Chains A and B, each alone.
Chain A
Amino acid sequence: MSASPPLVATVSSAHSAARRFLSLVLIHGVLIAGALFMLAPFIWMLVTSIKPPAEIFSAEIALWPKQFYGVENYRFAMEKAPLLRFALNGVILCAGILVVQLLVAIPCAYALAKLDFPGRNLLFVLVLLGLCIPVQVPAMPLYIGLAQLGLLNTYFAMMVPFFLSVFAIFLFRQFFRSFPDDIINAARLDGMSEFEIVWRIVTPSAWPAIAAFAVFSIVAHWNDLYWPLIVISDAKLAPPPLGMMFFADAETGSNYGALTAAATILTAPLVLAFLIARRRFIDGITMTGVK
């Protein structure tokens, strides 16, 4: 600070500091409100899972139960529902889908982004059109096909409609387009085949895109009820949401404490996985490493 700063300058700098503070408060206020709005159902689930039945139905809204009933609710859920089985089914389902999606989409996206062949643009338009078709449209023919092949009530039936993800092709294609051509050419000169270029050169640089897509894919299929409900009737194969449904029907009726306890247990792996992977996930997105 100089000895005697001009009065106008101090006033205006104080003024601008106040404005900066205000705008920070405003921005954070909006963000916190948004976060609360998003988290509210989740918090409600957690709170309900530790409340006794009587308090769940009381009219007043309380964030903490007067009587802690968590142990009973969770024990009931663990004893009456094969939650681990549901979670395992969810893991198998999500992993199977994700692996095949990546195996198919990455080479497709590479071809669309980096190879020159007649009809490439037409194929890409078809991919874009594919994005516009909701899963409900091919549900009927797929169901009939699976039924005739005797494949209903299998993991395969749960996974097969999602093996080919046009969204993944689109996402990876956009990502690969920015991959330097020179590096691909260098790999060709070093003797790599196109397949090796895809898996050994291009894919390792695509971790941010793969991570982002994995989040979408895993969340969508972990939580999917629609398709498993159609092809699965065997509770042993049920993924989490369908399992919850069976559990709600058969065992609990309207025991919401136990139900939300089960839901909490089934959501936990997802939440934990992302809390653990968060660091890497953010690193992956900020540091592309491609120059």
Chain B
Amino acid sequence: MSSKIKHSKWKYVLLGAAAWVSAFLLPQAAHAEYADVVINNYADAAGIRPVVFPHWFHRIRFRCKVCHADLGFEFKAGGNKITMAKIIDGKFCGACHNGEIAWSVENCAMCHSGIPGTPTHFHGSTVQRLIAPAYKPVEQKK
């Protein structure tokens, strides 16, 4: 009985370590377009591929203000807690992907196109490309 518990504990430790390591390795192995965002708060858990949002594609068509001021997207990858329920109510991606401004939500494979298991992240960001994490910001005295 007790040995069984021990065994399962190890499995979790190993799984956790593997996830932790892959979280650091994955973004570096990829060479996706600058500013592509992978959104994977819920997708993996729900058994669908993570979402890849291409900033470059959308900024050719819209200024930042449309999404980040009018539609209320916060400047934080994964920070908007987007779900399909909100999308079909016309919020977030659903404000445009409604069959009027852009193609409609039934095209699951267009948005859910990421490699399963990819964590939420911003591709090619300066922070990720640093060899060592930037030191804590020094308090500037005036």
The answer to whether A and B belong to the same complex is no
